[in-house]
Amino acid sequence: MNKQLLLLGAALAVIMPTGASANYWTNFQDDYMVNPYVSAAGGVNIEQEHPLDDNGIGYHHGVSMNPGWAGTAAFGVHLPYGFRTELEGGYRFNTVHDVHGFASPATGGHEDSWSAMWNVLYDIRNPTRFTPYIGGGLGAVWLSYENVHPVAGTTAGISDNMLFAMQAIGGVDYKISDHFSTYAQYEYMSPFHTHADLAGGGEVDTRYQNHTIMVGLKYAFNAPRKPEPARKEYTAEKTTTVTRSVQTDVNSYLVFFDFNSTELTPEAKKILQTAADNANRRNITKIEVTGHTDTVGSDAYNMRLSKRRAEAVKAALLDMGLKSTDITTIGKGKTDLLVPTADGVREPQNRRVEIVYGK
C-alpha cells in the first residue's frame, strides 16, 4: 500500500504546474483554449456481491461487502469543443459483510484497492453554471484482500495484484467562480478479470465491481483578465439602452451583434462603410478591431466568438477598400464589458465590435 501511495504522490508532483509553469499553462489556454485543472473528491463506495467460482474445489458461491469509502485526486486539461482528459489516482476500502453459500461460512476481513486511470470526458455545455458531463477511463487497479474467510479455517487473499480495469463516469459540475467549481460524480469501475488464492490451496475466480458516488472540488489554472477601464468616448453609451450600431466619434466606431451571432446587420454595414470612407479619406494606416461578447457561456467559447466577430468586421472593411496590413484584430471575450453584468446575462450592448483609428 505504501508503494502505491508513493507512486501516486510522485506522479502528481511531476505533472502539477507550479510557479512559472502555471503561467505558461495560463498563456497556453489564452492562445489555444486549453485549460489545466486539479481536482479531489471523496464519497461512498458500494461493491456488488462477488461471485466465487472454484477451480477444482467444488463450489459456486459469493461474498458481499459493506458500503465503504473512496477518494480520488486528478490532474486534467480542458480541451476545445467541450472535451477534457485527466490522470486520476484513487483509493477504495470496504469491509466484508458475509461470505455465504458454504457449509461452514465465516466472516471478517476487508478489501482495498489503489487505482491509476486515464479518463476522457465530455462536458455538455450550456448557458448555466451547471455543466453535466460523461466519459470513461482505462488503467490499472492494485487490489488487496486481507483476512477474508470464505470457509471456516481458510483464508482468501490477494496482495498488490495489478489488474487492468475500465470505468464509466457521469456527473455534474457547478461553477463557483472563474477558478473554483464543485462537482458530484458517479464512477463504475471493474477490472477485466480477478482471482483469489486460498491459503489452504486452490483459487477462486471472482469479480471486483464498484459503484462510487463522490463530491469534489476543482481548481482551474486559467487566470481571467481584469476588465479594462471603459474608454472615455463610450461613457455616454453606458447610460442608454440603445443597441443600434453607432459612430462614437471621428476616431472610433461601434457595431453590435445579435445573440451568439457574427452576422453584420444592415445598419452595422452602413457604420463600417462610414469608417472605411473616413479611413481612406484621412489616409489612416493603423486600425484596431476588437471583438466582445456578453456573459452567456464559457470563457473559452466567448473568446472564440469575439475573435470571429472581429474577423467578420475586418472582412467587411477589406471589401470596402481597406488594406489587410492596416487592420489588427483582437478578441476579448467577456472580459471587457460595456455594461457590467453578472455571469450568464444576455446584455445586447456587450455584443459588439469596436473600430478604433490608430495614431
Please report the DSSP string for 227-276 in residue order.
Answer: PPPPPGGGHHHHT----S-EEEETTEEEEE--TT--PPPHHHHHHHHHHH
User: Which helix (H) or strand (E) covers residue 137, if one does?
Assistant: strand 130-148
> Are 155 and 198 a contacting pair, CB within 8 Å?
yes
C-alpha–C-alpha distance, residues 146 and 96, integer Å = 10
Residue 195: predicted pLDDT: 64
CA distance 145 to 196: 8
Kindly report the CA angle at 132 between 131 and 133, in degrees rounded to 5?
115
pLDDT for res 16: 43
Could you please state the CATH topology (level 3) that the domain comprising 232-357 is classified under: 60s Ribosomal Protein L30; Chain: A; (3.30.1330)
Taking the domains of the chain in order of start, what are their residue ranges? 2-220, 232-357
What are the per-10-residue average pLDDT scores of the chain (359 residues)? 46 40 36 75 90 56 83 92 93 82 60 92 86 95 72 54 89 90 95 63 70 95 50 35 49 90 90 90 90 92 93 92 91 92 90 88
pLDDT at 70: 96
Indicate yes or no: pTM above 0.75.
no
Residue 235's pLDDT is 32
Cα gap 239→263, rounded to integer Å:
26
CATH of 2-220, one of 2.40.50.140, 3.40.630.30, 2.40.160.20, 3.40.50.2030: 2.40.160.20
Helices 299-319 + 266-281 axis angle, to 10: 60
pLDDT of residue 11: 42
